[in-house]
Amino acid sequence: MTVTATSVDRPDRLQPPPAKGARARLIRLVPALVSALSGVLLYVSFPPRTLWWLALPAFAGFAWALRGRTWKTALGLGYLFGLGFLLPLLVWTGVEVGPGPWIALVVIEAVCVALVGAGIAAVSRLPGRPLWAAALWTAGEAVRARVPFGGFPWGKVAFGQADGVFLPLAALGGTPVLGFGVVLCGFGLYDIVRLLLRRRDGEVRRSAAAVALLSVAVPVVGAVGARALVSDKAEAGTATVAVIQGNVPRAGLEFNAQRRAVLDYHARETHRLAAQVAAGKEPRPDFVLWPENASDIDPFAAPDAAAVIQGAAEAIGAPVSVGSVVERDGKLLNEQILWDPVKGPLQTYDKRQVQPFGEYLPMRSLIGAINGEWTSMVRQDFSRGDKPGVFDFGRVKVGLATCYEAAFDWAVRDTVTHGAELISVPSNNATFDRSEMTYQQLAMSRVRAVEHSRTVTVPVTSGVSAVIMPDGRVARHTGMFVPAHIDMKVPLRTSETPATRLGILPELALLLVAAGGLGWAGAAAARGRRAADV
């Protein structure tokens, strides 16, 4: 490689002469088109497809579009990337309520991506730019996971990597480190291509080449090394768990009007499993897991619902975790109930991260003035629980993260730090029909399994229900909108991964890196000169 020490761009040697007329206008649209298509490419890398590797060229294209842009241009390009990614990714949010909420959600979420784009453009001429840029992307995800209305982490890059080679990074530092590694590799890939193209002019510094190569190599080597943290070995013995999918009378919001039918369906599937156990066709489970909303009739207030649950628990001869809607002390709660076949209800867990516009309505009066139908769909806000959910099924401790909570790092982690040997994610996806939402959420649970080295069960009212091994592998799963169950032996684990022990620290470290990059770029701009470039 020919090496010279140069610190400024030579755009005259890298770009063709200025174009004129319509051709010039078309060329000016290329960065916008590349940004939008790169966003679409990132979407395509997400489940149910297994094209995880497309995230790398997606971020390489984004890096090309942003490099050297003004902050105003970068805002627009970042917004286009956000729209290209989030519009198709989140289309399921409008399955039953129309396009309004879907479009509004994407418009708001893409603002954060736009701001990240401006930041990436600012650091795009710094030495080590892939590091600063990837840290800024992670910082943007951290913000989206917290604001507005408690955050919306859906679309974290980590959640698209359940089938990828980078997945073991989740055990090292959780979703922030996994996502950072993927984005760093994508930005590094762009720099490698750019430097190879410049090599013909002999204007490549060794330090620049080293940074580009390390940006790609370090995440890959780190993922390979982190595989030692991934294991499905039983550390505390095994347990036989049964996951019940009762199905719903039909897809859509109206299934809530048929609450008794949903409860009966789950009881019926439990009785069917009990008959197979009695016939010796299935192993007797140590405990049974029903999904969220399996009983939208409050069993503490409705004796007939309590009798149905009690009958199912007695038939299977094991405690059952029942997802229910409960009203207590004037509060509406999305609750899991541990129901013992002998002693009845013993423990409860109230969902802590409730879904805005689904389980509660922010700015109710304003929203009602805009569209009264939205307030009628969420007539009463759900209240939040305040304690981690860990059910004691005899010798087995099961952590609970109800549906939407699986997207939040803290909501899953603190079940493990409170002793969970297995994690359950009871969910209700019937509202979203056969959309990609179910597969996106399943991928989240696979990442959580590796992140905390725990078996993860996913009981869902209408599917896809699954049992996931601690290495992220789906051991068994059901179809959609069919009654079904899974009854199998799974490993119990007690050790904590670095991700579990470190908690939020890796994310904070990456936030500091992002702030450092912006500070450096800002200082260089204030001095009226460009930072050293290669």
Q: What are the residue numbers of the active site? A: 292, 351, 403
What is the 3-state secondary structure of 468-483? ECCCCCEEEECCCCCC
Judge contact between 84 and 38, C-beta under 8 A: yes
For residue 141, which of 182, 101, 175 has the smallest C-alpha distance? 175
Alpha-carbon torsion 55, 57, 62, 66, what sign? positive
For residue 514, which of 123, 71, 145 has the smallest C-alpha distance? 123
Measured N-to-C along each axis, helices 129-144 and 505-526 cross at an angle, to the nearest 10 degrees, of 120
What phi and psi, each to the nearest 5 degrees, are found at residue 265? -60, -40
What is the 3-state secondary structure of 378-401? CCCCECCCCCCEEEEECCEEEEEC
DSSP-derived secondary structure letter, 3: B
Q: Using CB atoms within 10 A of its CB, is residue 137 exposed (0-12), middle (13-18) or buried (19+)? A: buried
- C-alpha 450/C-alpha 468 separation (Å) is 10
Alpha helix stretches (DSSP H) within 231-337:
259-278, 303-316
- C-alpha 477/C-alpha 393 separation (Å) is 23
Quick check: bond before 464 cis, omega within 30?
yes
| C-alpha dist (Å) from residue 153 to 43, 78, 131, 142, 407 | 15, 18, 22, 8, 6
